[in-house]
Amino acid sequence: MDQPLQLPEAFRRRLLHQNRATAPWLEDVPDHARSMVRDWELTPDGQPFFGGTSIVLPVRTADGDPAALKLVSPLADAALEVTALSALAGHGMVELLRSDADQGALLLERLAGPTLVEHPEPLAAARIAGRVAARIAAVPALSDAPRLAETSRAWGQSFQAQHARAVADRLPLPAGAGERAAEIIDDLAEDTSSTLTHGDLSFANVLRRAEDDWVAIDPGWLCGPVENEAHTVVRSVLPAVLDAPRPREGLRAVIEAFCETAGADVERAETLSYARFVASYFWEAQHTGSTDDIERLHRAIELTTAPPD
């Protein structure tokens, strides 16, 4: 790399806000990027993209093929992403070309884009996400894949702490919402799903590879129900849905559109989405999230507990 990688201040602040332990990685990453480009015989080929936990550099390989060099921060686990990408190869997932988990570096297929965020029709976009989710859910989970049924116990404990703090802080919440969400999370311990799931199938994580060919990026390594993906799908269009004339019907329609192509149960998807709305509301309110996002999550909780319009 002729020019050192320049990190936007907003990216630095975001990572440091999540964990101060990312400071050494942020300090070292420009040199790290230069050494990975050199060692893998890559050529920079565009402006870097700064995501929530990683940096993606457009590059070309020694053969001149377009690719994307991903440098994973300590906020994520590169080894788990490599495992997930390998297990899901050919099933609605970006292609992994090369990796060095110890270096936190992945070389990925470069996708043409755009993401589903830019799709003009929310329901059509939800159906596309559903098709991607169905391809992922077709893959049987290996025995060592973490199960949502097991991780839900830790989630339930942290949720109870969040709920107690919300009550102490007098955080506005519909009556019984915290208790209902806690029951839903506890019930996940009985989940018997045996297939893989993405874990964060937001519209920003679904990109177009080619015409009518969409794939996901940033998978988690998780065994769980496909219905668990409905929440991030809904959150991807939440501002538009809440601004519509009939927001309750709009929320339901997005979940139904997703489930239609994902082969998922609508009622279970809405139930899991509700619990995740409450948990997300607590987290954002207790971690200085944006006022707009907090208000939208609160409104979504109210609408999900209300009867249809």
Q: What is the pLDDT of residue 307?
A: 52
Residue 1 has pLDDT above 70, yes or no: no
Residue 52 is given by DSSP the state S
Note the pTM of the prediction, 2 decimals: 0.92
**Amino acid occupying residue 71:** L
Q: Per the CATH hierarchy, to which homologous superfamily does domain 9-109 belong?
A: Phosphorylase Kinase; domain 1 (3.30.200.20)
Q: Using 50, 70 and 90 to split pLDDT, how confident is the model at 216?
A: very high
Tell me what pLDDT residue 306 has. 57
Cite the residue boundaries of each domain of the chain with CATH code 3.30.200.20: 9-109
**From residue 162, how far is each of 183, 235, 301 by CA, in Å?**
14, 20, 16
Task: Considering the domain delimited by 116-305, tell me its CATH architecture.
Answer: Alpha-Beta Complex (3.90)
Say whether pLDDT at 18 is over 90.
Answer: no
Which DSSP category does 195 fall into? B
**Spatial distance between the Cα atoms of 134 and 45, rounded to a whole number of angstroms:** 33
Average pLDDT value over all residues in the chain: 94
pLDDT at 202: 96
- Above 80 in pLDDT, residue 273? yes
pLDDT score at 304: 84
Average pLDDT over residues 219-230: 96
The CATH 3.90.1200 portion of the chain extends over 116-305
For range 81-91, the mean pLDDT? 96
| Spatial separation of the C-alpha atoms in residues 302 and 172, rounded to whole Å | 11
How far is residue 70's CA from residue 228's CA, in Å, rounded to a whole number? 26
Cβ atoms of residues 145 and 221 within 8 Å: yes
CA torsion 208-209-213-215 (nearest 10°) is -70
Question: What is the pLDDT, as a whole number, of residue 201?
Answer: 96
- Residue-wise pLDDT for 32-57, tens only, equals 999 999 999 999 999 999 988 999 99
Q: What is the DSSP string of 142-173?
A: PTTSPBHHHHHHHHHHHHHHHHHHHHHTT---
Please write the tens of the pLDDT for every residue from 172-190: 989 899 999 999 999 999 9
Looking at residues 257-267, what average pLDDT do you find?
97
